[in-house]
Amino acid sequence: MDYSSSKELSPARAWWTRETVAVVTGANRGIGLALASRLAEHGITVVLTARDAERGEAAATALRARGLHVVFHRLDVADPGSVQAFAAWLRDAVGGLDILVNNAAVSFNEIDTNSVEHAETVLRTNFYGAKMLTEALLPLFRRSPATSRILNISSQLGLLNKVSDPELKRLLQDEERLTEAEVEGMVSRFLAQVKDGTWRGQGWPKVWTDYSVSKLALNAYTRVLARRLQARGDRVSVNCFCPGFTRTDMTRGWGKRTAEEAAEVGARLALLPPAELPTGTFFKWCTPQLYSKL
């Protein structure tokens, strides 16, 4: 199924209402802002979050000026205190959520560089932050008959074919036995090698290495979490989406498509009909079926 087409989501198939709540992180600009806008245009209540309160509120105000139902709350996914405060606010002020889009991410690489100088910050935000927020919000999902869903904005740079260490690849490919502890152990090993300067030649992805490892970990965590939730009968799906090379601040304005084009596909995935909603799946841009198993 090609979700990159321009066909509109059919209102007749809509499982959501104005009472449906979607949380979008890192949404004051780029793909996050475009996703918040697109979801709100479908009539969903959107909680727009950003680390910068002034910019986040300005983004939400602009969307509200268009008649969209959007509220802002500050959230720094890399800060445990901020995550806990946000979860408490969401529980008390909103009552829960139905959709979580983990979009917040950072990279310090230029288009033609591969620095790992800020690897700890990148992993803390892109992997640990998304994981910490997800775990904090899991009890707040309302487990609607339509099935609640998590969509992690990821990257093909974090796919297993970018890993050349055979032992690491075997670990990550063992879908039935891979654990969260092993995923975190992989990240810790990478950061230790960055710290002592031995990370080169260890089989890590060769392009934007720190960013790629963060997405490698996020993809693996998505798979492990999907299996855990399925095993306990929890009606929350969790998937990844790679929007491809998109023109945003992170890519310094380079890319094949706009943030709005990427968000159109992301919104379709976030709003898939319950009968078509998989879990533990990696969606990527413009393939014959659009998605493939992680």
* Tokens 């932050």, residue located: 129
> Cβ neighbours of residue 78 under 8 Å, at least 6 residues apart?
121, 124, 125, 128, 129
* Tokens 């706009």, residue located: 258
Dist CA 157 CA 205 (whole Å): 7
Find the catalytic residue in 3, 128, 211, 221.
211
What is the rounded (10 degree) CA torsion for 126, 124, 181, 137? -70
Burial (CB count <10 Å: 0-12, 13-18, 19+), residue 190? buried
Give the sheet arrangement for strand 21-24, strand by strand: 70-74, 45-50, 21-24, 99-102, 148-153, 236-242, 281-284, 291-293
In the chain, count H helices and then E strands: 9, 8
Q: Is the dihedral of CA 277, 283, 287, 293 positive or negative?
A: negative
The answer to whether 211 is a known catalytic residue is: yes
* Tokens 């990821």, residue located: 154
Positions annotated as catalytic residues are: 211
